[in-house]
Structure 1
Amino acid sequence: MRAIPAYAKINLSLEVLRRRPDGYHDLVSLLQTVSLADELTFEDSDRVELSFDDSGLQTEDNLVLRAAWLLRHTYGVKAGAAITLRKRTPVAAGLGGGSSDAATTLQELVSLWELPVKGEELVGLAARLGSDVPFFLTGGRALVEGRGELVTPLPDGPATWYVLAKPDGGLETKTVFESLAAESMSDGEVTRALASGRSAEGQSPFGFNGLQETAFRICPAARRCFDALQEASGRPVILSGSGPTSVAWAGANQGAEEAARSMRDRGFWSEAVRCVGREESVE
């Protein structure tokens, strides 16, 4: 029985364009999968059951269970699956852990249950589970637009390391978006330029995050963590997603482990991670 990694993501840039009539927001974001990962296993069973190494995740709203039940209801599946989730990506951290778990579950159960589902049909199912889920079907580096369902895969960049750091607790994406002011919205051009390689030479490896200041206002600890990571790493830093995790660029592993250790010594959760390319992400 093989453990399947469900890789986390970071946002290298994230711009909010507008609020949509359905209450969601149109975004342009450059996403990258990284080596921090949950692990899932799947076995045949006569019913759907999910085991955790963290009892706090045992809820009917868990995205792994929602993905399994979505497939069963959509395609009339009678078979079950015994799923085990080993959680390593922090919850509500802006790293897409639950969305990655959901995408991995869709892909693995389509295979286990031998369902004729692929391409746009699978993307449509993923979008019903959450805005980040379609991206995780391919992983690697991608430009993501719309609500998250429009994913343009991009060539893998150079082998790059990052330092992740977060304060205690999480930050709900819905809360951040509901508090977002119009002046935090932009036209997406910074992100598109970064994705296409049109950024000026010597420019920051990050674009900017239109949710960052709103997240800092809601969660002052996220700002303190951001400032501490800038000091510990001496490198460019950006907030990932809606936070509260901050990300520092570390190039070819230039001081990544040392910066992560420094952040842990300051009382923050922190990990040094490397980027994960598309081939590794979906193998």
Structure 2
Amino acid sequence: MSMLDDFMVRAVLAGIGVVVAAAPLGCFVVWRRMAYFGDATAHAAILGVALALTFNVSVLGGVMAVALIMALTVSTLNGRGVAMDTMLGVMAHASLAFGLVAVSFVDGVRVDLMSYLFGDILAVDRMDILGIWLGAALVISLLVWRWQGLLTSTLNPDLATSAGLSPRREQLILSVALAMVVAVAIKVVGALLIAAILLIPAAAARPFAQSPERMAVIAVAIGVLSVIAGIEAAFIFDTPTGPTIVCAAAVVFALGQITRVIRAN
């Protein structure tokens, strides 16, 4: 019997694939204070699910398309005199609401709605794992390729401009990477928890990192630990797996904050 026949092994592989992509990207979300941005893109994913089911196309493709449109719209509006937190709040909740209403018109998917909202990692198959890891490889390749440019434009946009970099272009690259992560993560943690899996490992890594690169590596390690611990805890306590993974990450974050306070004193 193949190792991948075990649903727990498939779940762990899928979860690790998501956090390997989400954790380094989450560092940029933390550095740029883009938490609302990640939330809006993730919430738009439900609209992508509804459109994909309506037109009978790939859910992954539908989510990717809508997440990308949302990310590019936000990037375009950024710095144009629009109150971004208000705009992101409106777009996030409106797209989620429209998505939920649209899904209700599609026959036979009402029961599956919870899995799109909160994930259904135990139901992933081999093709899901392949899609997740391909998406993760693309995101990592994009971040490695543009790491220095992204970092410079994040820490000092004026320095980036004088060095011949375009901060707006780097923002668009981040937006594309974010849309990819949302598309691959929806099956694992669901639309409502994607922002958490982006933010929490990166935020938890911050107190222990002396450099941006180290923070990204530690965030990945925390993400992997959270996936394994979350899946194990969900199996033992019979709790929803996606939310339990996020709870595990939150516990690591809390322990990190306690450690930092103790060190400071």
Q: State the TM-score bracket (shorter-chain normalisation).
A: under 0.3
Structure 2-normalised TM-score? 0.25
Report which of the two has the higher share of helix.
2
Name the structure, 1 or 2, with higher relative contact order (CA <8 Å, separation 6+).
2
Report which of the two has the higher share of strand.
1
Structure 1-normalised TM-score? 0.24
